Amino acid sequence: MRMSDLMACDVYAADGRCLGRVRDVRLVMDGPVRGSLAALRVDALIVGGSAFAGRLGYLRGGVRGPILLSALMHRLEARAITIEAGDITHWDVDERRLITAARAIQRGDPDR
Amino acid sequence: MTDGRVLHAGLHVLDRQMRDRHGRLCGKVDDLELERNEETGAMYVTAVLSGPGHLLYRTGRRRIGTWLAKLTSHIERSSLEDPGRIPYDRIKSVGVTVDLAIEANELATFAAERWTRDHIVGHVPGSRHDADE
């Protein structure tokens, strides 16, 4: 599987409701050491919201100002949700469809 | 969340500049290969994908991207099984740049230029010496 395939997927709740497209993937460097680095594990998917705000670094990139722009970008991203990779029950990447059984969905900036 | 270093694929890894073992620029991170561990169910990054074929694939031109990546792999002489696929254990660090423990000329990034040099420009009379010699 490729990251680009994963980031082209839509995520659905168990009841069939579409939660949005995968906008980014949170990776954690905590796996077994391979060469010089610990393996990068897929930890969570950032789903929905505005891709624009994320790409400018206003959320996961730690950019905080100017304050008006920051407020606007955080408002845009408020619709984004973070879904733990372990909560994805069905990975149908060929059909670009992931299904989650997550009940508690974390909204907004996952790192704040 | 666990204690390991946290990176976001789209923000911190994709499109980052790569440098070879001598610090020479050698392309960008165009995609990542993922593999699921059947025992734990966790998914890990197993390779960095780089080169025009993988970039085309990522931008939605999947068929021609796959074809171009195969073509590059076929024409390129490299110690790597696939010059567009850099195994994760050949990555030294991930920061502002992605530093590799590999030579730039083993990668697919400039494969077309190298092929053109070796097979076309190299056969043009006078191409074997510097212009000012």
Q: What is the ipTM, given to two decimal places?
A: 0.81
Give residue-wise pLDDT tens across range A38-48: 999 999 999 98
Residue B130 lies in a domain: no
Residue B98 lies in a domain: yes
Smallest Cβ distance to B4: which of A29, A36, A55? A29
Give residue-wise pLDDT tens across range A72-101: 877 777 778 889 999 999 999 889 999 998
For position A3, what pLDDT does the model report?
94
For position A112, what pLDDT does the model report?
47
Residue B128 lies in a domain: no
How far is it, in rounded angstroms, from Cα A102 to Cα B56?
A: 34
How far is it, in rounded angstroms, from Cα B55 to Cα B33?
A: 13
pTM, whole model, 2 decimals?
0.81
CATH number at residue B58: 2.30.30.240
Q: Are B75 and B35 in contact (CB under 8 A)?
A: no
Give residue-wise pLDDT tens across range A26-69: 999 998 898 889 999 999 999 987 767 767 777 666 677 788 88
Q: How far is A15 from chain B (nearest CA, A)?
A: 24
Q: Which of the residues A33, A36, A112 would you substitute to probe the B interface, choosing the one with the greatest number of B C-beta atoms within 10 Å?
A: A36
| Enclosing domain of residue B42 | 9-121
Instruction: State the first-to-last Cα distance of chain B, in angstroms, to the nearest integer.
Output: 62
Residue B39 lies in a domain: yes
Give residue-wise pLDDT tens across range A15-24: 888 999 999 9
Interface residue ranges in chain A relative to chain B, Cβ cutoff 8 Å: 1-4, 6-7, 23-31, 34-43, 46, 54-55, 57, 60-61, 85-86, 111
Residue B77 lies in a domain: yes
B55 by Cβ neighbours in 10 Å (0-12 / 13-18 / 19+) ranks as buried
Count of structural domains within chain B? 1
